[in-house]
Structure 1
Amino acid sequence: MTPLSLQDLEAELKNLDGWTIEQGKLHREFKFASFVEAFGFMSSLALVSEANGHHPEWFNVYNRVTVDLTTHDAGGITQKDIDWAKTANKLA
């Protein structure tokens, strides 16, 4: 897998509500009504991540989940990251 070009990445970002690029990674903060909802979101995505062999960098505090995505093996943001972000948006 190869990193997306800047043009491809910009085009994909137009369809990814809430996502930005920070420090070379796809980035978003999700907010939920409670810790249980935030943890449930993470649990659902953990199963997706494991099935796809693609795992996020994420951080949880109470009702917030902060996510950073990059494909380390490819050295940048790839289609795997875009697909994961789209799934996250659907589950949120």
Structure 2
Amino acid sequence: MSKLTLDEIEQRMLRFPDWEYYEDAIHAEFEFENFKDCFSAMSRIAFECEALNHHPNWSNVYNVLTITLFTHSANGVTKKDFDLAEAIESIVEPEE
């Protein structure tokens, strides 16, 4: 999987307004009602990570989930990161 160019990243970022690109990675922070809801989302995300064979750097403090995505083998952002970001978005902000 090859690293995306800055132009490709910027174009893809338009679909992810809650995410930011800096330090060769895409980042997001999600706030939930409580710890249980946050941890539940993390559990669902974990299954998507396994299915995509791509794993985030993430942390959780009470009801806040912070996620950083980049592809270690490419030393930057790839299509895999945006695929996982899309899966994460569908979990944390489901369509109504």
- TM-score, with normalisation over the residues of structure 1? 0.96
Name the structure 2 match of 1:56.
56
3-state secondary structure, aligned to 1:17: coil
CA contact (8 A) 2:70 2:77 kept: yes
CA contact (8 A) 2:52 2:84 kept: no
3-state secondary structure, aligned to 2:17: coil
Which aligned runs of 4 or more in structure 1 are off by greater than 4 angstroms?
none
Structure 1 residue ranges without an equivalent (≥5): none
Shift of the alpha carbon at 1:22? 2.6
Instruction: Report matched runs for 1:24-63 at 5 Å.
Output: 24-63=24-63
- TM-score, with normalisation over the residues of structure 2? 0.92
Shift of the alpha carbon at 1:17? 2.2
Structure 2 residue ranges without an equivalent (≥5): none
3-state secondary structure, aligned to 1:36: helix
- Deviations along 1:16-49, whole A, 9 cap, x unmatched? 1200013211000000001011001100010110
RMSD: 0.7
Name the structure 1 match of 2:23.
23
- In 1, the alpha carbon distance for the partners of 2:25 and 2:76 equals 7
Q: Aligned partner of 1:24: which letter?
A: D
